[in-house]
Chain A
Amino acid sequence: MEFQMNQWSANKTFSLLAALAGISACIVSGAGRSYFSSSVWAQDSKKPADRKSIVLDRSPIRKLEDPNATLHAIAVDVERGEVFVGNDNIMSPPSIMAYPLDFAPTDKVMEPKRRIAGPKTNLGAICGLAISPEAKELYAVDGDGESMDVFSLEANGDVPPARQLAVAHGSGGVYLDLKHDELFITTEHVNKITVFRRTAQGEEKPLRTIQGSRTKLADSHGIYVDTDKDEIFVVNHGHWRETAPGEDDARRKGGDGSRRHPGVPEDLAPSTGQFFPPSITVYSRTAQGDVAPLRVIEGPRTRLNVPSGILLDPASNQLIVANAGDDSLLFFDRDAVGNAAPVRVLQGPLTNIKGPTGISVDLKRNELWVTNWDNHTATVFPRNAKGNVAPLRLIRTAPKDVPAPGFATAGGLAYDPKRDEILINN
């Protein structure tokens, strides 16, 4: 609620007294009627159950927009020479765009080779992308929906997914383990890693899940699986509450809260919420259940700040973290543990890195790709880049100086009368 005390403080004392006297309805609505149109007068005279709603159909006097593609997820197809980027802006609308890996540097908006978008696609807030060059498939996880949509790598336009897999609400990170043909998906809302067969569809049950208090999963996002050493890496924002196994499944089937027992309220219970530092948690690839991580990277020296994406560069044996909170890429030794400092950092105004979210490596061209949620770009660097260096080239989905309002998935709205400001949260 916006409580606009400044503007109606003059009326407050009167209103309070009137309310106390039980005459507010008469006096206040009577005073207000001078503002209403004749149609409102007529409507007000009818019994509420019989009235016809007034339609406030009029043109806006202004509007705030965020119509440009906001890049979140990314996956590089080295063999086909293409990069897929996911646009999670529901005002844009959402899309998956395919661009060439090789192109002449340009500062202009680039049109994609192909674009999957439209009502048939079922695409929403695309948070995770993975590809299988062998199966020629693209896997897209919707953070606000409850599905993973699978498309052909050649898909273009408003096409339905080739198949869909039901996943928990709030799922985002996805990694395809090509060696074992398994998909790993993180779920932010219930602190969980779910492992499916690559070809799973419909309501198919997972092969394994990692969830529970011992896991230290806490608002988890990006995920990477090292199939050589059989380890899973996950980045966590650190926001935690105890989650019961199967909690998300109950919700998806409409069975949460009092719906399970109509007329009988749920019991009150002690809260379990806590804040932990942001972290990278590491598990055995085959772990399942409520298992403790093999090791954890966390602490002030790590510089982790809203870590959103994670990847292992097998050539350098370094973990790369898209650190959205401070516009940086952090590089850690693969076996780092505890309060470990990054071995290098890519950050600064020359880099064009702003709100980095997705990362991918092109081992053939020795390049590192980054999606920047806050400036409508995907940027390409040498794999060993560090410091404040300019990208080799970048893909723009909006002209260079177009603002980035950043309210693509807004959740709340308020007006501040003191400062004449509009507040929007994501």
Chain B
Amino acid sequence: MSHPRISVFAGSAKGIVDPIRVITGQASLLARTMHTLSLDSVHDEIVVPNPFAEALLFFRAAGSGEEKPIRIIQGPKTMLTYTDNAAVDPVHNEVFTSQRRTDSVMVFSREANGDVAPIRVIHGPKTKLDRPVQVSVDPVNNILAVTTMEGLWIFNRTDNGDVAPRAIISGPKTGISGGNSELKVMVYPEGKKIFVSGGGPLKIWNYDDNGDVPPWGILTSSSKTEMHGSVSRVAINRAAKELIVLNRTSGVFIFSMPDLIQ
């Protein structure tokens, strides 16, 4: 078990380097098992989950040291259960989180604080949500992408209640079905692509894909990529056209992707 923390590195860092700052310590209320980190560049904030206290924590993006959260969503009304993921929509001031334990996706006001009810909940038999793992939201194209144990579910951003997804990418050709609890997701609005990591190569689909379809593209571990095992997480540096990849057993890899990143 590592120490719970958010470590910040220079974008150009390489090799073995110390973080330039770290958010950590008891006052931060950070716990292990926060499986995502969502950055809101518009409001200059970070949101991370604390599954053991069933909370969403908001920090200043420039935070450092034993920094306290500036807001906390937590309490009985929230219906959060062991939440380990979050995604911010800074355009519509909302924060999304999937709930594996209750087969649901909760949506809160981004500015909510304390014991507040979600403003929308996607939940019910029509959703076919089966232990959803992580969410990512595209506020411009109105896409809500959700990885589940059986693949990739795509909803409309504003969906609420017991609604069917607009698309389900699942099946043997996808390589992401079959009970994978590690599937993470990131939407890329500019390229209209959805990145799914965890459990093998990084897989990329188009927004309009649906059904049992192979990924549009893959980035895999190989002697050339120098990665070993599964691609765990991804992020995009759009200005530099770089894909940033976390390979948990080897490190963080930065790839130049001008052909992919617009």
Residues of A participating in the B interface, judged by any CB pair closer than 8 Å: 1-8, 11-12, 15-16, 19, 24-25, 28-29, 31-32, 35-37, 40, 43-44, 48-49, 51-68, 70, 72, 88, 90-91, 93, 125, 127, 143-144, 170, 172, 188-189, 218-219, 221, 237-241, 254, 256-259, 262-275, 278, 304-306, 308, 324-326, 355, 357, 373-374, 402-426
Contact = CB atoms under 8 A, between A and B. Distances in A.
Contacts, number: 414
Between A67, A88, A172, A421, the greatest number of chain B beta carbons within 10 A of the residue's beta carbon is seen for: A421
Contacts of B219: 55-57
A19 to B, nearest CB: 6
Nearest to B96: A1
A144 B35 CA distance: 13
Interface of B: 1-20, 22, 24-26, 29-42, 44, 46, 48, 50-55, 61-62, 66, 74-82, 87-90, 100-104, 121, 123-125, 127, 129-131, 136-142, 149, 173, 179, 186-187, 189-192, 203, 206-220, 222, 224-226, 232-239, 242, 244-246, 248-262
A153 to B, nearest CB: 24
Contacts of A269: 79, 81, 102
B52 A56 contact: no
A422 B9 contact: yes
A61 B240 CA distance: 12
Contacts of B233: 410, 412-413
A251 to B, nearest CB: 10
B259 A40 contact: yes
Contact of A61 (B1, B36, B254, B261): B254
B213 A49 contact: yes
Of the candidates B66, B203, B235, the one having the most CB atoms from chain A within 10 angstroms of its own CB is B235
A373 to B, nearest CB: 6
Nearest to A72: B1
Contacts of A263: 125
Contacts of B87: 1
A19 B142 contact: yes
14 contacts: A4-B236, A32-B190, A63-B250, A64-B13, A72-B1, A88-B2, A170-B33, A257-B102, A257-B130, A326-B25, A413-B234, A422-B13, A423-B8, A426-B5
B218 A53 contact: yes
Contact of A48 (B11, B33, B206, B245): B206
A189 B101 CA distance: 14
Contacts of B18: 403-405
B6 A423 contact: yes
Contacts of B25: 305-306, 325-326
Given A2-B39, A5-B42, A188-B32, 13 more contacts: A24-B141, A57-B220, A58-B224, A62-B254, A257-B130, A271-B81, A273-B53, A326-B25, A410-B232, A411-B33, A420-B237, A421-B8, A425-B30
A15 B2 contact: no
Given A5-B42, A32-B191, A271-B79, A64 B249 contact: no
B218 to A, nearest CB: 5
B16 A66 contact: yes
Contacts of A256: 100-101, 131
Nearest to A418: B41
B93 to A, nearest CB: 12
Contacts of A325: 24-26, 66
A246 B88 CA distance: 34
Nearest to B260: A56
A239 B50 contact: yes
B104 A268 contact: yes
Contacts of B127: 265
A424 B6 contact: yes
B6 A415 contact: no
A206 B137 CA distance: 44
Given A257-B131, A414-B235, A418-B41, A90 B249 contact: yes
A257 B190 CA distance: 35
A4 B12 contact: no
A182 B192 CA distance: 56
A5 B41 contact: yes
A413 B244 CA distance: 8
Contact of B235 (A24, A405, A415): A415
B55 A273 contact: yes
A407 B7 contact: yes
B90 A3 contact: yes
Given A12-B140, A423-B46, A7 B2 contact: no
Given A325-B24, A408-B2, A239 B8 contact: no
Nearest to B30: A425
Contact of B53 (A67, A72, A241, A308): A241
Contact of A403 (B16, B66, B256): B16
A324 B8 contact: no
A172 B138 CA distance: 38
Contacts of B225: 57-60
Given A15-B140, A52-B214, A64-B15, A265 B36 contact: no
A189 B32 CA distance: 9
Q: Which of B6, B31, B32 has the most CB atoms of chain A within a 10 A radius of its CB?
A: B32
A48 B55 contact: no
A272 B220 CA distance: 40
Nearest to A59: B224
Nearest to A56: B219
A8 B238 contact: yes
B36 A411 contact: yes
A3 B53 contact: no
Contact of A411 (B34, B131, B186, B213): B34
A423 B55 contact: no
Given A59-B224, A410-B248, A270 B76 contact: yes
B16 A424 contact: no
A267 B123 CA distance: 9
Contacts of A58: 224-225, 255-256
A344 B80 CA distance: 40
Given A57-B222, A268-B79, A420 B211 contact: no
B236 A324 contact: no
A44 B20 CA distance: 42
Contacts of A418: 41, 44, 61
